[in-house]
Structure 1
Amino acid sequence: MTEMPTLEDPTTEVETRKSGRAGHITLTRPKALNALSWEMCLAIEKALDAWADDPEVALIILDAEGERAFCAGGDIAEMYRRGLKGDVDFGRRFWADEYRMNAKLAAYPKPIVAFMHGFIMGGGVGLGGHCSYRIVGESAQVAMPECGIGFVPDVGGSYLLARAPGRLGAHLALTAARMGPGDALHAGFADHFVPEEDWALLKQRLLDSGEASALEEVARPAPESPMAAAQAEIDAAYASDNLPKIAESLEAESADWAAAALKQIRRNSPLSMATTLEMLARLGPAPSDIDAALAQEFRVAYRIMQEGDFLEGVRAQLIDKDRNPHWGMALDAVPPERVAALLAPLGAQELVL
């Protein structure tokens, strides 16, 4: 039986406190790029639960220490180590708790203002990307890189990707393309651009007033978005839900962005990419229910260590760092039944939010 982490664990690296009219959650793990551990997820959820009905808390501020990252993803090294030994329960329980926290952030009854800087990837998108006010600064680099480690976009990321304009979500999912602040706003992963030099003043106004409207005074026009400029070409290249056809379309496109996209697609897990395309197709272009997206993601997460490329992808990218994963199948040879098996209902093991 996998042991449950405890909130008293001294390795929990997130600070939660009340200040002024706000609850304040700060990730305090900058040396690890604020990678989100199981303990951190539980601590954040505990604070959210405590403040939901607290009359002293009018809104919540969510931010992170360090200059390099808001949160560069989930801390999956322990999942890998345990998975190698056959313990897949650890990862399943971690993901279930993390996805429950993602759902609470999306449905929270009070405003949550997320300040996202530097790397905002994977689990970081799940943390800040579902809040009611999502602020990015000039250093923001947003991405969903899961297909590169043999996984699929999760933490509600598939919900955001499906809602992105046109076929941009497929492009972002299959290539892990990084979005600067302008792209993040265009794609629907952020709401406001505020120069980072103004963040301290804005946070103080939020703490003092308890009113999220304070951010309107300092928000600035969105920076340029290269992805918006290439939207028509992206839509055309990703018009199909068929992975080999997408690769063919990119190969025929002369733009630099297409060459970079094709290079990345040829490096990522074919099974993960084919499954991701099916996930987005099932959600449709404008899903309104993040819970359905999380449930679908959990079906894949529940099976991915045993039936997918996750362990090999994490080994190649994060453990041995040889960047040479040996995927289980080729780009043009992913059996549809393998994708269907990963997405099949889990019965009694379905995600409960």
Structure 2
Amino acid sequence: MSHLRSSVNNGVGEIVLDRPKALNALDQNMIDTMYDVLLEWGDDDSVHTVLVTSASDRAFCAGGDIRAIRDHAIAGDADAITRYFAAEYRLDQLIATYPKPYVALIDGATMGGGLGISVHGEIRIVTENALIAMPETAIGFFPDIGSTYFLPRLPDGVGMWLGLTGARVRGADAVAVGLATHHVPADRLDEVADTIRSGAPLIEALSGRTVAAETTDLPLRTIGEYFADDNVTAIVGGLRGAVGDEWAAAMVGLIEKASPTSLWVTAAMIGAGARSTLDECFDRELTAAQRITATPDFAEGVRAVLVDKDRTPSFEPADIDDVDPAVVAAIVGADRAS
């Protein structure tokens, strides 16, 4: 069964994500179907714009189908894992190079793989209900879907902050840091969508309906100070040394919930991504995804967060200072990180 619907009207090809019980988490069929549809529309002169929406008001897309990946890992089915991530990254890469305007309407949770099918597109419209995050370190994984390319290209330190902590960004703040392009009030989103569906120019659909996003509540200067490095020990040490700083303490709390190995892998991947092309980042991510999903931390992290939901993972090692650099290099690929 496909949880994805597609149609073409007035020159607009619309893809509707419709897997509400899983918050539109992308399963293999959804990924393959979406790729095939986009590939066909890319060569179809009758389609001039692509619109991606959600049938649920709770989420745009909560990510990839990580529970299924864990099942494959436990079963030792490495081929299924490779097939999934290769297909997902192929889809994201197609979106990044799509020859026509690609518009994602984000109203609700958008995490992990949800950013892969939105951030790489030309236009990302968010509402105040949008909740954007890359929470992979908490499940023993790392931010992927091409994020090791776009995260280090956000304002100073923001990408490392998002990648390590899994912190959540909402509405106008997403525009301010470059994850979204337009902010529209939730009560006007249907109006924007209908105008796009009518075949009207995108500038007409957005004119007079967007909210200015010149300001942000995010402490960008502080983020830049604490997360400018790719040394996890230095980052955490700086945060812990900020006595009386509630924001720094909250970030330490988020980091302490993550897999220490994943934190180091994430820092290395983002650091390498800063000096790589998007294609190189996808290639490196596929290698790392294949390797990290075979580790105990991945199975344990997904169990604690998504399966049993007890939020008490037992990661090994349990401290960032005990992570073996050789293990990190083996996951990232020492030759690929340079």
Shared fold, TM over 0.5:
yes
Distance in 2, Cα, partners of 1:71 & 1:223: 26
Deviations 1:132-158 (A, max 9, x none): 000001101000000000000011122
2:25–2:61 CA contact under 8 A, matched in 1:
yes
2:13–2:49 CA contact under 8 A, matched in 1:
yes
State whether structure 2 residue 236 is matched by structure 1 residue 247.
yes
Q: How many residues align?
A: 333
Find the residue that maps to 2:174 and give its secondary structure: helix
2:176–2:214 CA contact under 8 A, matched in 1:
no
Residue number among 281, 294, 309 corresponding to 1:321 in the alignment: 309
Gaps of 5+ in 1: 1-9, 348-353
Query: Residue 166 of structure 2 corresponds to which residue in structure 1?
Result: 176
Deviations 1:225-250 (A, max 9, x none): 222xx112112112332111111101
Equivalent positions of 1:194-273 (< 5 A) are 194-209=184-199, 211-217=201-207, 218-222=209-213, 224-227=215-218, 230-253=219-242, 254-273=244-263
State whether structure 2 residue 284 is matched by structure 1 residue 296.
yes
1:84 is displaced (CA, Å) by 1.1
Deviates more, 1:36-45 or 1:86-95: 86-95
What's the TM-score, normalizing by structure 1?
0.90
Distance in 2, Cα, partners of 1:247 & 1:191: 31
Matched AA of 1:222 = A
Query: Residue 17 of structure 1 corresponds to which residue in structure 2?
Result: 7
Matched AA of 1:103 = Q
State whether structure 2 residue 149 is matched by structure 1 residue 159.
yes
1:185–1:192 CA contact under 8 A, matched in 2:
yes
Find the residue that maps to 1:299 and give its secondary structure: helix
Residue number among 35, 43, 53 corresponding to 1:63 in the alignment: 53
Find the residue that maps to 1:226 and give its secondary structure: coil
2:156–2:228 CA contact under 8 A, matched in 1:
no
Distance in 2, Cα, partners of 1:231 & 1:224: 11
Distance in 1, Cα, partners of 2:305 & 2:167: 16
1:22–1:210 CA contact under 8 A, matched in 2:
no
Find the residue that maps to 1:209 and give its secondary structure: coil
State whether structure 2 residue 67 is matched by structure 1 residue 77.
yes
Query: Residue 118 of structure 2 corresponds to which residue in structure 1?
Result: 128
Distance in 1, Cα, partners of 2:188 & 2:257: 39
Query: Residue 5 of structure 1 corresponds to which residue in structure 2?
Result: none
1:308 is displaced (CA, Å) by 5.9
1:189 is displaced (CA, Å) by 0.8
Distance in 2, Cα, partners of 1:221 & 1:54: 35
1:345 is displaced (CA, Å) by 7.3
Distance in 2, Cα, partners of 1:258 & 1:346: 34
Residue number among 76, 85, 100 corresponding to 1:86 in the alignment: 76
Query: Residue 342 of structure 1 corresponds to which residue in structure 2?
Result: 331
1:33–1:72 CA contact under 8 A, matched in 2:
yes
Deviations 1:11-52 (A, max 9, x none): x10101111110000001122211111110111111101101
What's the C-alpha RMSD, in Å, of the aligned pairs? Answer: 1.7
Distance in 2, Cα, partners of 1:239 & 1:174: 12
Deviations 1:32-80 (A, max 9, x none): 2111111101111111011011111010000101111001111121221
Matched AA of 1:225 = T
Matched AA of 2:328 = V
1:21–1:210 CA contact under 8 A, matched in 2:
no
2:160–2:228 CA contact under 8 A, matched in 1:
no
Distance in 2, Cα, partners of 1:267 & 1:204: 42
1:331 is displaced (CA, Å) by 1.2
Distance in 1, Cα, partners of 2:248 & 2:45: 51
Distance in 1, Cα, partners of 2:211 & 2:217: 18
What's the TM-score, normalizing by structure 2?
0.94
1:346 is displaced (CA, Å) by 9.5
Find the residue that maps to 2:155 and give its secondary structure: coil
Find the residue that maps to 2:230 and give its secondary structure: coil
Distance in 1, Cα, partners of 2:274 & 2:170: 25
